[in-house]
Structures are given as structure tokens and as C-alpha cells.
Amino acid sequence: MIPIALYLALAAIIFSVGLYGLMTQRSGIRILMCVELMLNAANLNLVAFSSYHHDLTGQVFALFSIALAACEAAIGFAILMALYRMKDTISLDHINILRW
Amino acid sequence: MAVENLAFLIPVLPALAFVLTFFLGKKLPTGGAIIPIAAIATSFIISLLITLNLLANPEEVVSQSYSWFAILNVGILVDPLAAVMLTMVTFVSLLIHIYSTGYMSHDKAPSRYFAETALFTASMLGLILSDNILQLFICWELVGVCSYLLIGFWFEKPSAATAAKKAFLTTRIGDVMFLTGIIVLFSDLFKIFNGNVPDGVYILRFDEIFAHIPDLAAINANIFGMEVSHITLITLLFFGGAVGKSGQFPLHVWLPDAMEGPTTVSALIHAATMVTAGVYLVARTFPMFIAAPDSLMVVAYVGAFTAIFAGTMGIVMNDLKRVLAYSTVSQLGYMMLGLGVGAAVGSEAVGIALFHLINHAFFKALLFLCAGSVIHAVGTHDMRQLGGVAKVMPITAITMIIASLALTGIGIPGTSIGTSGFFSKDAIIENAYLFGETTGTWLPYIFSIAAALLTSIYIFRLIFMTFYGKPRTDYGGHESPASMTIPLSILALCALVFGGLTTKTFNTFVSETFVNNFVNMDISSLATLGGYHLAEHAGEEPMLILWLPLIMALAGLVITFLIYGLKIVNMDKLVSRNNPIYKLLYNRYYQNSIFTNFISVKVIYEGFAFAGRAVDRGFDWIVKWFSDFTLEAGESLRQFQTGAVQNYATAVITGVSLLVILIKVVMEVL
Amino acid sequence: MNLMLVAPELTIAVTGLAVLLIGLFLPTDSKKILGYLASLGVLIALALTVSSLGTEALLFYNTVSIDALSQFFKIVFLVVALLFTIAGIKYTEGNSNTEEFFTLGLFATIGMMFVASANDLMVLFVAFELASLATYALAGFEKKNIKSLEAAMKYFIIGSLSAALMLLGISYVYGATGTTSIPEIAANSATLASSPIGIVAVVLLLAGFGFKIALVPFHMWAPDTYQGSPSVVSALLAAGSKKMGIVAALKVFVVALIALKADWQIAFAILAVITMTYGNVVALKQTSVKRMLAYSSLAQAGYITMAFVVLTPIALGGGIFYALSHGFMKAGAFIATAAVTYMVLSENKDSADPDHIENFRGLGKRMPITALCMTIFVFALAGIPLTAGYMSKFVLFSSTIQSGFVWLAVIAILNSAISLGYYAKIVKYMYFLPTDSEKVSEPFPYTIAMIIAAVGVLALGFWSEPFVHWAMEAASVLLTGGM
């Protein structure tokens, strides 16, 4: 049995990778991927805790959140597609009309 | 090696063809059409061999199941019902693929087309082969997706994109009902097993479901104050799925729009195969329906009403393909009616409905392909611009007329002379008569006989407007290439003789699906469970009843000939539109009233203007007090808002980290 | 289980689906009917909710609770949805995607309503995301407008970041307590309080909800998104979606995590002060009215957050009442801006900044009703007596002083004074600056929506007693530990 701390550490690492990417990446697609990483790190946590507590709620929760993550990705890609059509780029640092 | 062991290849080969065509198609001539054609041809041969084998040895049903997870399984089941469907689908799909090599030759993306049709064929075959309801549902969704992709094949056309969306969303209503039905079924069965399902028992497999029909019938639900047995509930939900997929009223609306796709797609998906999936579903779960008399009654009524309702719309359409689309809806209604009358005739209903399904697949695919041939040659769908096409395209014209005769069901009652539609459609109408006799409800019969007249009118109107007389516009045109006319001729042959040759064998073969095969049901005891008696069927219908459908068909022919052939009635006067309702709606707009101007401008504005100047000074004074300092602050603070979204994310993260630290510190200090 | 208890949600869901499907069959020029249909659905749902006031129940295996609090917020959301759909009738005129606009709006409303009645973190999260996803798409509704797209993009990215943070927070709460049910978490939260991840979980959840409420520093998307989105959508975001964050925070912090009170009270105190000050100060220098309103709603969120710091029944009631009034005021103000935008765009199609404050010049003459309503809204936002804004501030601030947080109250009152500066600026432009433009006709649906909102603002101001009482009742649900 692998101790739960290892799962939590792995989740924390994945989450941090996602976080780092979110702050540094410019491409919209990569940002979306980073968000997925973060959501899945949280899912990993849920599942790990679920087996730790011998309680199915966490796994059910993870299933819900996987479905939500898929919806989120769909919306995200739709927005990026629309942006690409207007600006011919998905590099997010070119998109800053709205500020101050 | 027995051919049964190859059954799994039937859907697998087209699926492989999909993958290959998708990746390699662009590099091959004609978009790689040869790959799906070869794959589907092999599938066809396997299906045909299995069917023949079944015909000779009815007990050799192919049934293979593997555990998927927990109490669910994947598996294949080829009983007579599935076998005939498989053979028909592979056969029609094969011919349409061959035809498409000619039809799609000028298209930009033939490889995408062939990949998608191969995927469709694979999913449709998977649907038919499923031995459990869940797998069937998965394939059911897959064919829906393929249909969406193919309707929107020319997605640059906004109308195609809209039609695809509409088809997808409308059928989705049905799908949701179907899924709900499965969920209810699953939870009921789980309850019946008390949550303890023994190993090796897969509760969503058809035999397992059918074995528990009496238990399901014993569970009652209270819906809107009515006691409804769960079997009725489940079957109605299943039927809801079938209504969506098979374009029954009121979810038929997507089917005519679906004609935005290439004509071959209309022929394959929206005439011969996918739309019959709903009929197949009802046939597949027929033992459940027969134990639920109310559901079967709904099936009969919806089917009969759809048949006549779509027929009435068929006679006013001017678009070649739309007439055929409404005709499909109407014929699907017949098939549903054919199943619905099972309340009176028992398992024979499945045989007859399936027989009509197969015959319809032949002649409707043929009609669409002929229409495609015309459209391909002259470049328009509008019948008002055609006329006299028979001279330019003789093969197309002859095959189309054969298809029309099959559709209207021309033949001599009491003999085995007639087109294939004659045997199946008249059998359904006769069963509807029996149904009326047994249950005392005559509406389905009346609808079906009236629909027969409408069928004849709309299809001969199409023939006269398109092929007869003189060209109304200068459309040029030429006969289509051999790759298109050969499939037409083969289908025409089927439409002409298939019914006559097989009628007896076919009906007994398929009707016995549930009697002595895989599932082994006692249909009449189930019927007793449903609380009604089957008719003592002996073909004692009066002579008039036997002849009436034929009379109707001929009457339709005569009427259309008088109107469109001899032009004794001026149609232009009849169809003129002068609709006063439009205007009425239009003038219902609000008006900017006097109230607005008076109250707000005079009273309020003048009042404010008076008080305003004083207040303004007050405001200015307050603002000034703060402004020196705050405005500066505002100006510098707003610089934080850089507009780059990464910085915003960074702010969030920094905020989170700072808060953790702050709380930690403050808690320590306190 | 009695389905009548979720009848309002079901009504909205059915209306949403019906609008979507009917829209498929209508030609663009007759899609106007969809707006009426959507409004009718919301009205029916509103009537159903009002008629079921006073019922208490637990549904769906105790994951959804119907109580005074959830009913109160449901009414807030439905009122906002009503204003949204009515105004939407005009906004979507001639748009071929009308059905999507209304369907998304209604779906977002369902999400908000379920957050209001969530009794389990799972339901809360899913509903929260439902509302978020629908509003992401709405923010980018003008597919050809780069501002709208940028708004959607920023909203989406920060939104998904917060969703991830919130989910991580929830996972820690679940890990420490072994349950996702809010009352059970409350019962077990001692373990969380003693564990080191307690603080992390609190802050992560705070970030998740703070994003919706738009608390500094989780607010950065808000000004951009409110400015870039269609005004009607901004109304939904500021008036509806923001309240969803508040009710979620109330449920999670005040009910579930009450054992960690010490931790999050500090956090909320800090955030409240920063948020209101930042919002008010930055709003002063804005020239885009929508952006100004966005910063103003930051400030308002800061005031409401004070309730979490004070944490007495009166303060919580005040916060909840504030949420209701703010729904009316802010939705109304954004719809008024939408009317002005419409006017500007119909005069000059290519106008780059239709919501620039210059366009409000002489509005009192040009669009008298709009100007009058806008005046009511900004006065209410500023907290002028006899409006809903005044009453809410009064209840909230006085309860703050009463409980000994005098410093907090002083900061809040100073902030209110600053805010007068920019609110007055709008009134000044509308009534006191001359214009040579013509009077224009006011778009009817916008006018109706604004009048409803204005009547609401005035009614809550004049006749606030029953509403305040009702809000207190809702607040008492929180402090008795839920159900």
C-alpha cells in the first residue's frame, strides 16, 4: 500500500506544474492544457482521499469533475477558435485591448 | 472453420476501413473508395453466409459474450432478426459506396466522405449485432454522430450546418428518453436481483432482460396519479428513442432538413439504414412491448398517424429530395404500425415490419439514388424546373419508375405476382385491419389505407413532374456513368422481385426470432401478461380489404395522371399564397406613447435641471475634497490592470500565497 | 420525493431546452418570440418560488436543501434572470443565435439556483461550474467583436484557474473530514481546524469564491470582462453570478467551516478593506461607463464581504439584503448602459467605445426614461437615502459598528464618500452637460427591464422592513448550522 502522502505530493507537483505553466505560457492551447493539469491534480487528490477513507464520494466527485473539465475544454477551445478567426493568433499577450 | 466465428468481423472490417481511409485515403485514387468497398463486400459475404446458414439450421444462432466490467458485457448476437438486417445493411451500403465513386467524383474531399460512411456502416452493423441494450445504445449514439457529420458534409453551406445541428439536437431528445429507459431498466433489474448479481450474468443482455419481463411488469410507478407498470414506462421511453431516430411524429422534423447532405448519404442513412434503427429497436425489444399493451397501442397510433401526416406533406413539396424524405417518414410510420399491430397478431408483426423495412430499404435507396443521378446530371433539385428527363436519362427513369411501383405496392392480391412493396405494405394494412377487428380501434387502419392513396399521389406526381412531358428549363444533362447505373439496376431488380420470391420464407424466418431461438419466448403468454388476446389469424379478410390497397394505389396513379399528365386542373391557382395572418402579427408592435414624452421630459427633466445646479456644486465640493489624493491613487492603481491575462493569473496565485502567509502570521501573533 | 420542490429549477431547465429547440426551427426575424418565451418561463419559475416560500426540505439524498436562505437567493437570481431575458429581447434582435443567448442565460440561472440550495460540496461545485461555463460562452457572445472575445478569454482562463483552486480546496476538505456533505463537514471540521492543511483549504476555497465575488486580488478579470461583454451579459455577471459566489461562500465558510472561523475572518477582513478601497479609487479615473460600473461592483462586493467579518445575525442579514438590492441596482445600471450602447451603435455602426461616458452627455434630453432610471440606480449604488442601496448600507454598517468593528465601518463610510465622485459624474454628464444631438426613441424591452429594476430599487428603499426581516430569517439558517 502506497502511503497517501505520496499521492498528495504527486498531486501537488502536478498542480504546481500547471500553475507555473499558466503564469508563463503565452499560447492559449498550452494554457488550456495547464488548466487541465491542475484540475486533474485535484482529481487525483479526491481519488486518493477516497480510497484512504474507504468512501466512494471522492471518486464520484472526480468523475463529475472530469466531465466538467471536458466541458470547460470545449468552451475554451471555442473561445480560442473565435479569437483565432479574428486575430489570426492565439498568443495571449497580443490580446490586451481591455486594460487599466 | 465455421462462418459463425467470423461474425465479429462484420462491423470490425468497416471500422478498419474507416481508419485506413481516414489516414491514407487522400493518397489513393477516388479518395480511397476501394478500401471501404472491399471491407463492406467482405462483411456482406459473411452476413449472407450466416443468414443462409441460419435459414437452413434455425437453431444455430450466433451468440458470443465477453465480460466488459462488473455486470455488463460486450457481445454479438446474430439471430434471424439481426441476420436479415445485417445482410440488408451491408448490401445497400456496398451498392451505395460503389455508386458514390461516381457521384462524389467531383467533390473536394472524397476521402473524408468515404471514411465517414465507413464509420457509419461499422456503427450501424455494431448496433444490429449488439446482444445487450447498452452496447446497442453506444452504437446508436455513434450512428447519430456519423449522421451529424454527413448531413453537415458540405459544412461551408450554412443551411447544411444548421440542418446538421437540428438533426443532432432533435434526435437527442429521443436519445435522452432512450437512455432514461435504460437507466430505469437497469435499476429495476438490479433491484430484482436484490443487488446480488451472480457471476456470468450480464443483466443488460437481451435474454436476461426478457427473462425478467414478468418481474418488471409487477413493478408499478405512480406518474401523475396514474399507476403505470414499469415495463410500460421502459418501453415507452425506448419508443421515445425510436421516435427520434426513425423520424416519427412529432420528432420527424429533422429528417426533411437532413437532405442537405449529399444524396448518397440521404440514401444510405436517411432512407435505408439509420432511420430504421428505431424500428429495429422496437423489433429487438418486441417481447417487452408485447407485455406492455399500452405502449404497443402508442406505437400503432404514432406509426399510423406519421404515415398519413407525412404523406400529406409529401404531396406539396417541390424539392425532389424532400418529397422522398417525407415518403421515408411515412413509410417508417408504416413499419411502426406494422409492429404496433403486434397487439393483435403477435410475433408475426416483427416479421412483417422487418419485411417492409428490407423492401423499403431497396426501393427507397433506389429512389434516392435515381434522384441523385438526376441531380448529378442536371444540377437542380427543383421539380418545377425539370420535366422530360426520361428522354435524356432512360435507365434512371426506368429504375425510378420500378421503385415507384414498389413503393406504391402494385401487385395482384392472392397471388405471388407483385412488386416487393406490395407484399409488405399490404400485409401491414391487412394486419391493421385485423387489429381493428380484435381491439375495435379502426383509426390505424383508416390512416394506413388513406396513406396508401397519398403515397401513390406524391410519388407519381414526382414521376410525372420530373420525367414526363417537355423540359421546363434548359438543363442539359446526360445519363450517369456505369458506376452509378449498375447499382441502380441491381437495386431495381431487388425492388421488383425480392418481395415476391421471399415473402413466405422471410416472414416465418424472422417471426420465429423470439419463438425457438436464442431468447425462447412464449409470446402468447406474454400477451396474456399484457392482458389481451391475439387474433385467430386465418386470412379471413373480406375480398374488398385485400383489394383496397391496390385500388388506392391505382386511384392515386389516375389522379396524378389527370392533374400532371393531362393537366385538367390548373395547379398554379391552387397553390397561390395570400396569407392575411402575416400582416396581423406584423402590426402588433408597441408604440412610443405620449406618456413617455410628457412625464419624463417635462416634469422630471425640468425638475432636475432646477435642483441640479445646486446639487452639482455640492457634489463637486465633496469630490474635490478627495480628488487631489484619490485621483492620483486611482491613476497609479489602475496600472496594475495590465491587460495580459497571465498577470491576472499571477495576481490570483500571489493572493493565495500571501493570504496563507498572512493568516499564519496573524494567528501566530494573536 | 416531491418534485414540486424543484419545480422552479425544472421550469427554467425546460424553458431553456424549449427555447433552444424552437430556435432551430424559426427564421431569424421571428426569433424575437424566444425572448418572450424565456421571460415567461422565468416569471413562472419566480411565481413558483414565491408560492413555495416557507417550505423546508432536503432532496436528492440530502444534497439539496430548500430553506429560507436558498429561497431568498433563488428569488434574487430569478429576478436578475428576468431582467436579463427582458433586456435580451432587444439585444438579440435580428441575431441568428438568439436561442443560444437565452438558453445559456437560463442554464446559468439554474446553476446559480442550485448553488443557492446546495447542501453538498459536490452539488455546489457542479452547479457553480454550470453557471460559469454558461457565462463564459455568453461573455463571448459577440463572435465578431474582439472585445467580447477578449473578455470571454480572460474570464475563462481566470475562471478555470479558480475552479482548479476551488476543487483542490474541496479535495483537502474532503480529505480531512471524509465527507462532502456541508452539515457533516460542519460536524467534523474540528479535524480540519487542527490539521495544517486547514488554512490552505480555506484560502483555496476563498480564492475560488473570491473569483466570482470579484475580491481583490482575484478580481482582475472582472473589469475587463464586464467592459468587453455585451452589457446585458455584464448585468447577469455582476448581478447574478457575483451573488452566486456570495451564497456559496456563506454556505461553505459560515456553515461548513465555522470551526475555522478565526482563519477566514482575518482573510475576509483584509480582502474587504482592500477590495472596497481599490474598487472605488480606480473607478474614479475610468472613462468607460461599463468599466466604471465594474469597479463599482468590486467596491460593493467589498461592502458585502464585511458581513463575513462581523458575523452577527444582523450583519449577515444585512449582507444578504445588500445582495438583493445590489442585484436590482447593478443589473439596472448595466441595462441602462446597454440602452445607451444600442443608441450609439444605431447612429454610428463602427463606434469604437459605445459605452464611453461622453455618450451619456445630455442623456436626460435624449433618452429621458433611461436617464431617469440610471440616475436612480447610481444614487442607490452610492447609498442615497430612500433607495435600496441606502437601506442595505445602513443595516450592514450599523451592525458593524454595533459589534465593535468601528475601524472597518469607518473605512467603509469613507469609501462610500469616494464613490459619490464617480456616480455623480455620470449624473452630471446625463443632466448638466449640453448636447446638440436629437432625442431618440428608447428601445422598449430595455425600458421595461429598467423600470422593473428601478421600481425594485425604490420599493426596497421605501418599504424595506419586510425584506430586511426576510433576509434576517435567511441568515438565521446559516447560524443554526443549516439543516
- Report the 3 state secondary structure along B593-632: CHHHHHHHHHHHHHHHHHHHHHHHHHHHHHHHHHHHHHHH
- Chain A hits for B650, CB-CB cut-off 8 Å, are 23
- B458, pLDDT greater than 80: yes
Short-list C60, C256, C177, C179, CA closest to A56: C179
Q: How far apart are the first and last CA of chain C?
A: 17
Find chains touching chain B: ≥3 CB pairs under 8 Å. Answer: A, C
Note whether residue B634 is domain-resident.
yes
Smallest Cα distance from B652 to chain A, Å: 10
Spatial contact of B352 and B424, defined as CB atoms under 8 Å apart: yes
Q: CB contact, 8 Å: B600 with chain A?
A: no
Do residues B114 and B244 share a domain?
yes
- Model confidence at B592, pLDDT cuts 50, 70, 90, reads very low
What whole-number distance in Å separates Cα of residue C163 and Cα of residue C127? 12
- Say if B540 falls within a structural domain: yes
Joined grid coordinates for residue C35:
425572448
Query: Which residues are paired to B63 by β-bridges?
Result: B77
Distance CA C64, CA C66 (A): 7
Rounded Cα distance between B33 and B45, Å, is 18
Nearest by CB to residue A45, choosing from C129, C149, C171, is C171
Mean pLDDT of the B344-368 span: 85
Rounded Cα–Cα distance for residues B239 and B534 (Å): 22
Residues of C within 8 A of B666 (CB-CB) are 266
Over residues B202-239, the pLDDT tens digits come to 888 888 888 888 888 887 777 666 777 888 888 988 99
Q: Which domain, by its residues, includes C110?
A: 3-479
The per-residue pLDDT for B534 is 62
Identify whether B536 is part of a domain: yes
d(CA B640, CA B633): 12
**How close does chain A come to C335, measured CA to CA in Å?**
20
How many domains would you assign to chain C?
Answer: 1
Stretch (H or E) spanning B525: helix B523-530
Grid coordinates representing A67? 466531465
Nearest CA-CA distance, residue B22 and chain A, Å = 23
Mean predicted confidence (pLDDT) in B294-322: 84
Shared domain for B118 and B148, answered yes or no, is yes
Contacts of C284 by beta carbon, 8 Å cutoff, 6+ apart: B627, B630, B631, B634, C418, C421, C422
Contacting chains of C (3 CB pairs or more, <8 Å) are A, B
Residue B299 lies in a domain: yes
Q: Check CB contact under 8 Å for B637 and C206.
A: no
Work out the pLDDT band at B578, boundaries 50, 70, 90: very low
What domain count does chain A have? 1
Q: CB of B598 within 8 Å of any CB in chain C?
A: no
Domain boundary among B574, B605, B630: B574
Check pLDDT > 60 for residue B586: no
**Inter-chain residue contact C369 with B656, CB threshold 8 Å:** no
Q: Nearest chain C residue to A99 by CA: give it.
A: C224
Position B585 confidence tier, pLDDT thresholds 50, 70, 90: very low
The minimum CA-CA distance between B667 and chain A, rounded to whole Å, is 25
C65: enclosing H helix or E strand: strand C64-66
* Residue in B533, B516, B511 with CA at minimum distance from that of residue B524: B533
CB proximity under 8 Å: C 110-129 to A: 121-122, 125-126, 129
Domain assignment present for B588: no
Shared domain check, B655 and B511: no
Size of interface B-C (CB pairs under 8 A): 144
Contact B646/A24, CB-based, under 8 Å? Answer: yes
Residue C221 sits at the chain B interface (C-beta within 8 Å) = yes
Who among C165, C170, C227 is closest to A98 (CB)? C227
**pLDDT tens-digit map of B30-85:** 777 888 898 999 999 999 888 888 888 777 777 788 777 667 778 888 888 888 88
Q: What is the pLDDT of residue B570?
A: 54
- B171 neighbors B244 (Cβ within 8 angstroms): yes
- At residue C213's C-alpha, the angle toward residues C210 and C215, to 5°, is 55
From the list B626, B232, B300, B581, the residue with the least C-alpha distance to B446 is B300
Give residue-wise pLDDT tens across range B372-403.
Answer: 888 877 777 777 777 777 777 888 888 888 88
- Cβ of C432 under 8 Å from any chain B Cβ? yes
Do the Cβ atoms of B634 and C199 come within 8 Å? no
B643 touches chain A (CB under 8 A): yes
Helix B230-245 × helix B158-192 angle, to 10°: 160
Same domain, B21 and B127: yes
Mean pLDDT of B15-29: 82
Name the residue range of residue B305's domain. Answer: 3-574
User: Do B107 and B9 reside in the same domain of the chain?
Assistant: yes
pLDDT at residue B269 tops 80: yes
Residue scoring higher pLDDT (B424 or B58): B424
Give the up-direction half-sphere exposure of residue B36: CA atoms within 13 A in the CB hemisphere. 36
Which of B 650-669 lie inside 8 A of C, CB atoms?
Answer: 651-652, 654-656, 659-660, 662-664, 666-667
Place of cell 425544472: C10
**Structural domain contains residue B583:** no
Confidence band for B539, pLDDT divided at 50, 70 and 90: low
Q: Which helix (H) or strand (E) holds B59?
A: none
Query: Is the pLDDT at B622 greater than 80, yes or no?
Result: no
CA distance A93 to chain C (A): 11
Q: A56, A96, A97, A98: which to substitute to probe chain B, counting the most B Cβ within 10 Å?
A: A96
| Nearest residue of chain C to residue A88 (CA atoms) | C146
B596 with C263: Cβ contact below 8 A = no
Q: How far apart are CA C9 and CA C76, in angstroms?
A: 14
Contact C125 A64 (CB under 8 A): yes
Query: Cα distance from B45 to chain A (closest Cα, Å)?
Result: 41
At residue C58, the 3 state secondary structure works out as: strand
pLDDT at C434: 79
Name residue, grid cell 431488380: B493
Look at residue A100 and tell me if it is in a domain: no
**pLDDT, position B576:** 44
Res B591: pLDDT: 30
Q: What is the pLDDT of residue C41?
A: 93
- Residue A85: predicted pLDDT: 87
Place B600 in a pLDDT band, splitting at 50, 70 and 90: very low
Supply the pLDDT for residue B595.
38
Instruction: State whether C136 and A75 contact (CB < 8 Å).
Output: yes
Please give the helix or strand (H or E) that residue B273 lies within, else none: none
Name the pLDDT band for B171 (thresholds 50, 70, 90): confident
In 3D space, the residue among B476, B473, B491 whose CA is nearest the CA of residue B393 turns out to be: B476
Q: Is C268 within 8 Å of chain B by CB?
A: no
**B639 lies within 8 A of chain A by CB:** yes
Position B10 scores a pLDDT of 86
Closest CA to B279 of B315, B314, B306, B257: B306
Contacts of the segment B443-446: beta carbons below 8 A, 24+ positions apart:
B443/B301, B443/B304, B444/B300, B444/B301, B444/B303, B444/B304, B444/B337, B444/B340, B444/B341, B445/B304
Considering the domain boundaries, does residue B207 fall inside one?
A: yes
| Test mutation, A30, A35, A99, chain B, max B CBs within 10 A | A99
Q: What is the CATH number of the domain that holds A39?
A: 1.10.287.3510
Q: In sequence order, which residues have a C-beta less than 8 Å from that of residue B92 and are 6 or more positions away?
A: B268, B272, B273, B361, B362, B365, B491
Task: Give the range of the structural domain holding residue A47, as residue numbers without chain letter.
Answer: 4-92
The rounded distance, in Å, linking the Cα atoms of C208 and C158 is 10
CA distance C75 to C53: 10
Tell me the pLDDT band of B577, cut-offs 50, 70 and 90: very low
**Predicted pLDDT of residue C139:** 92
How high is the pLDDT of residue B443? 86
Higher-pLDDT residue of B566 and B133 is B133
Name the residue of chain A whose CA is nearest to B642's CA: A99
The residue in chain B having the minimum alpha-carbon distance to the alpha carbon of residue C96 is: B162
Residue of C165, C368, C417 with shortest CB distance to B600: C368
Give the β-pairing of B220-223 and B226-229.
Answer: antiparallel
User: Mean pLDDT, to the nearest integer, of A55-69?
Assistant: 91
Task: Tell me which residue in A18, A64, A83 faces C122 most closely, judged by beta carbons.
Answer: A64
Mean pLDDT of chain B: 78
Taking an 8 Å cut-off on Cβ atoms, the answer to whether C150 and A95 are in contact is: yes
Contact call for A57 and C228, based on CB within 8 A: no
Among A47, A79, A83, A93, pick the best mutation site for testing chain C contact (most C Cβ within 10 A): A79
H helix or E strand, kind and range, residue B229: strand B226-229
The domain tally of chain B equals 2
pLDDT in tens, B270-293: 888 888 899 999 988 888 888 887
Cα dist from B48 to A98, B3, B14, B85, B429, whole Å: 66, 10, 16, 10, 30
Residue B317 distance to chain C (closest CA, Å): 18
Intervals of chain C under pLDDT 70 = 1, 481-483
Q: How far apart are CA B514 and CA B523, in angstroms?
A: 8
Q: B644 — contact with chain A (CB < 8 Å)?
A: yes
